[in-house]
Structure 1
Amino acid sequence: MGASGPVIANVLVDHPEAVLCNPEEMTAQRELWVSVCPNKKELIGIIEKFPASFFTSASHHNNQRNNIAYFQSLNLNKRIITKLMASAPQSFSRPVEQNQVMVDTLQRSYLELGGEKLNMKIWLQKLLSQNPFVLLKSAEALRQNLLFLRDRGFTTAELLHLLSKLRGFVTELHPDSMNQTLQYSQEMMACSGDELREIVLKCPALLYYPKHILTERFEGLLGAGISVSQIIDTPTVLELTTQIVNYRLQKLAAHGYDARTGSLDVLNGTKKDFEQSYGKLRLRVERPLFNPVAPLKTYD
């Protein structure tokens, strides 16, 4: 297949069981993967990164073949199918009917919540790409969680927003845990039910965190001098651990930015997002207002 010696060595180190697969099994497996993988070079990269997904038992080949045919029938991008096979191989080793149940539930939920049929394929591709393991979750759990959120006053459009933003992780939630999280959040922020829904729509991950994690993060923010009103304005700050918040607050304070009186937006985002915001702030602080060497413009 064109793999180099070091690549083969890496595969065997990470997945020594590969030596137990006979050449006929590997030929059959390669034919399956080549049907969705663009080229051999990319396939070699996938095998090196996900060897356990490629070196599977011959007893799974029929299920794999049927699942590939099913996802191709949905007109999903080949790269999406390849990613599903690599990162969630269990979903391809099981009977295709089990995946059909989950996909049908996702599609039906999308349409019932007001999603446009024309955009459904793109929506499904994005969701499966971001969270391949959603196929392995319970379709009934998805229905129960959406029903719970509907009972809490979320509109169909808002439910579709949450389903999309949570990238299928809504299947991992449970009504009891969500209820505890929402009650605690409402008590901490002293807000109404309508205000709480607005906060959740800004920060859907709020539904995902258990109460003890939220307690630690609220206490950390309040202990750093951040007000409840600031948290309500920028609830996504609750997605950051207390350690990350404290580190970023210290870096900002070193350049004269007091988060207690300013916006928390600068704290938000990934490490890359923060470094960009921090860099812009540092430039504003360090760059002189004018260049004293440059001649001033004059007008006749």
Structure 2
Amino acid sequence: MANATSNLFMTFLARSQLGLLMPGLSALHNQRTNGKFSQHFRYATDFISGQENKATVESLSELSVDIKKIRRLKPWVLSKEVTYVKEMASILQKIGADGSSVAYIFECCPEAILRSPTDVSCQRDLWLSICRNEKQLVELIKRFPDSFFAVEHYESQKANVRFFKDLGLKNTIISRLLTSASNIFHNPVEKNKHMIETLQSHYLSLGGSQENMKTWLLKLLSQNPFILLNTSSTVQENLEFLQKNKFTDSEVLCLVSKLKGFIVQLNPATMQNSLLYSKNIFKCTDQELKELILKCPALLYYSVPVLEERLQELLKAGVSVDQVKEAPGVLELSTEIVQHRIKKLNAIGFSLKTGNLEYLNGTKKDFETAYGKIQAKRERPIFNPVAPLNIED
């Protein structure tokens, strides 16, 4: 009886301990399978508990950094045991960053103080190699601190900078790509090389000349560097789609160039829908549709809902479908831009119902020039050569 009671007690004890252990095991499993959540939770807990690195907070305060902003955006940075506030500030100050610039950079990118000073120094030298001077570098860091402090991609960035220089891209273009399209520089250089070779191959196969290929390619990259984030198979599919729709090789090359490389970011399904929509709306033949597309590639690039919205905005202003067909480039403009330009033209008595839609087209500078001419023409007094002169005696 005693043995039975003892066994019963041991069983109960084991089950109780297992019950206590299971939540812990479950938490451990969740931590391993959801590391990011656990990490953020730990940082949040540290912050709530008030376990900030006092030395870090004091160093940042001495630099007039808004600590409250960091606590609001990325509080976990302040709980890190090892930081390099003074070292990072020194690196920035040596290239000419003043106190307010240093504070602004740390507020926008608090992770900067966690980077290794050695790595950041290497990054500084790399970026400086494509900048005109240190002043420009400081401005770039202020505008794109996250890109600059992505030092974990240093080796890829270095290899890609060298590759693009060898390709013939100017430093101004490379610096713009490095900041606005930094993911391209995170790619292994082999991937970018393969994409460049793909574009060169298609350019030649579509009838482009070897002599003009470099100029064409550099212009394409400067207009749309994100083309390098696509795959060679995507490029192939889209070009084949256009060829199947009776576009000649020279016309396909023209579209690729006019679309600034955005053709590779499309897919056959969306292009097909856009073509059908344009054909139905403008009631045109296949040949007329081709001419419209070549005149305004936006008809191919924008999705049906976007084209629909823009066309409706023009129709509300009293413009006819036939007018849009004559000047399809107006569909490249957003509804906000169209509304603003129509309002300005109406204010000086210019009616789009009878006027030329070409006045709406173009860049802001183009429109302002056209608007100024219309305004000057309407304000100019009419001269009547046979009207009697009023001469005072």
TM-score if structure 2 supplies the norm length? 0.70
1:226-265 equivalent positions in 2, closer than 5 A: 226-265=319-358
The offset of 1:75, in angstroms, is 2.4
Unaligned runs of 5+ in 2: 1-94
Tell me the distance in 2 between the aligned counterparts of 1:82 and 1:220. Answer: 39
What's the counterpart of residue 119 of structure 2?
25
Asked whether the equivalents of residues 108 and 145 of structure 2 are also in contact (C-alpha less than 8 Å), the reply is: yes
What's the counterpart of residue 275 of structure 1?
368
The offset of 1:82, in angstroms, is 1.9
Tell me the distance in 1 between the aligned counterparts of 2:366 and 2:106. Answer: 38
- Paired residues, number: 292
**Structure 1 residue corresponding to 2:185, chosen from 84, 87, 92:** 92
Kindly provide the amino acid, as one letter, of the partner of residue 151 in structure 2.
S
Query: Cα 1:249–1:93, aligned 2, differ >3 Å: closer, same or farther?
Result: closer
Q: Which has more radius of gyration? A: 2
Asked whether the equivalents of residues 168 and 218 of structure 2 are also in contact (C-alpha less than 8 Å), the reply is: no
The offset of 1:195, in angstroms, is 0.7
Asked whether the equivalents of residues 77 and 125 of structure 1 are also in contact (C-alpha less than 8 Å), the reply is: no
Secondary structure in structure 2 of the residue aligned to 1:120: helix
Kindly provide the amino acid, as one letter, of the partner of residue 377 in structure 2.
R
**Structure 1 residue corresponding to 2:269, chosen from 166, 176, 181:** 176
1:120-159 equivalent positions in 2, closer than 5 A: 120-159=213-252
Asked whether the equivalents of residues 195 and 232 of structure 2 are also in contact (C-alpha less than 8 Å), the reply is: yes
Asked whether the equivalents of residues 84 and 128 of structure 1 are also in contact (C-alpha less than 8 Å), the reply is: no
Query: Cα 1:89–1:251, aligned 2, differ >3 Å: closer, same or farther?
Result: closer
What's the counterpart of residue 54 of structure 1?
148
The offset of 1:291, in angstroms, is 10
Asked whether the equivalents of residues 34 and 43 of structure 1 are also in contact (C-alpha less than 8 Å), the reply is: yes
Residues 102-142 of structure 1, C-alpha deviations (whole Å, 9 max, x = no match): 11111111122222222222222222112122111222111
Stretch moving more, 246-255 or 103-112: 246-255
Tell me the distance in 1 between the aligned counterparts of 2:145 and 2:164. Answer: 22
Asked whether the equivalents of residues 120 and 151 of structure 2 are also in contact (C-alpha less than 8 Å), the reply is: no
The offset of 1:159, in angstroms, is 1.1
Unaligned runs of 5+ in 1: none
The offset of 1:194, in angstroms, is 0.8
Asked whether the equivalents of residues 7 and 48 of structure 1 are also in contact (C-alpha less than 8 Å), the reply is: yes
Tell me the distance in 2 between the aligned counterparts of 1:169 and 1:197. Answer: 18
**Structure 2 residue corresponding to 1:42, chosen from 130, 136, 140:** 136
The offset of 1:157, in angstroms, is 1.4
**Structure 1 residue corresponding to 2:301, chosen from 208, 213, 226:** 208
Query: Cα 1:16–1:207, aligned 2, differ >3 Å: closer, same or farther?
Result: same
Tell me the distance in 1 between the aligned counterparts of 2:356 and 2:275. Answer: 24
What's the counterpart of residue 102 of structure 1?
195
Query: Cα 1:206–1:285, aligned 2, differ >3 Å: closer, same or farther?
Result: same
The offset of 1:243, in angstroms, is 4.3
1:113 to 2:206 alignment:
yes
1:11 to 2:105 alignment:
yes
Identity %: 49
Stretch moving more, 95-104 or 123-132: 123-132
Stretch moving more, 34-43 or 182-191: 34-43
The offset of 1:290, in angstroms, is 4.3
Stretch moving more, 162-171 or 70-79: 70-79
Tell me the distance in 1 between the aligned counterparts of 2:96 and 2:249. Answer: 51
Asked whether the equivalents of residues 216 and 242 of structure 1 are also in contact (C-alpha less than 8 Å), the reply is: yes
TM-score if structure 1 supplies the norm length? 0.91
Asked whether the equivalents of residues 110 and 120 of structure 1 are also in contact (C-alpha less than 8 Å), the reply is: yes
Residues 128-177 of structure 1, C-alpha deviations (whole Å, 9 max, x = no match): 11212211122211111111011111111111111111112112111001
Asked whether the equivalents of residues 266 and 274 of structure 1 are also in contact (C-alpha less than 8 Å), the reply is: yes
Tell me the distance in 2 between the aligned counterparts of 1:111 and 1:30. Answer: 39
Secondary structure in structure 2 of the residue aligned to 1:225: coil
What's the counterpart of residue 170 of structure 2?
77
Kindly provide the amino acid, as one letter, of the partner of residue 162 in structure 1.
L
Stretch moving more, 166-175 or 8-17: 8-17
The offset of 1:88, in angstroms, is 1.3
Kindly provide the amino acid, as one letter, of the partner of residue 215 in structure 1.
E
Residues 243-266 of structure 1, C-alpha deviations (whole Å, 9 max, x = no match): 433443333233232211221011
Tell me the distance in 1 between the aligned counterparts of 2:106 and 2:354. Answer: 56
Query: Cα 1:243–1:68, aligned 2, differ >3 Å: closer, same or farther?
Result: closer
Stretch moving more, 248-257 or 28-37: 248-257
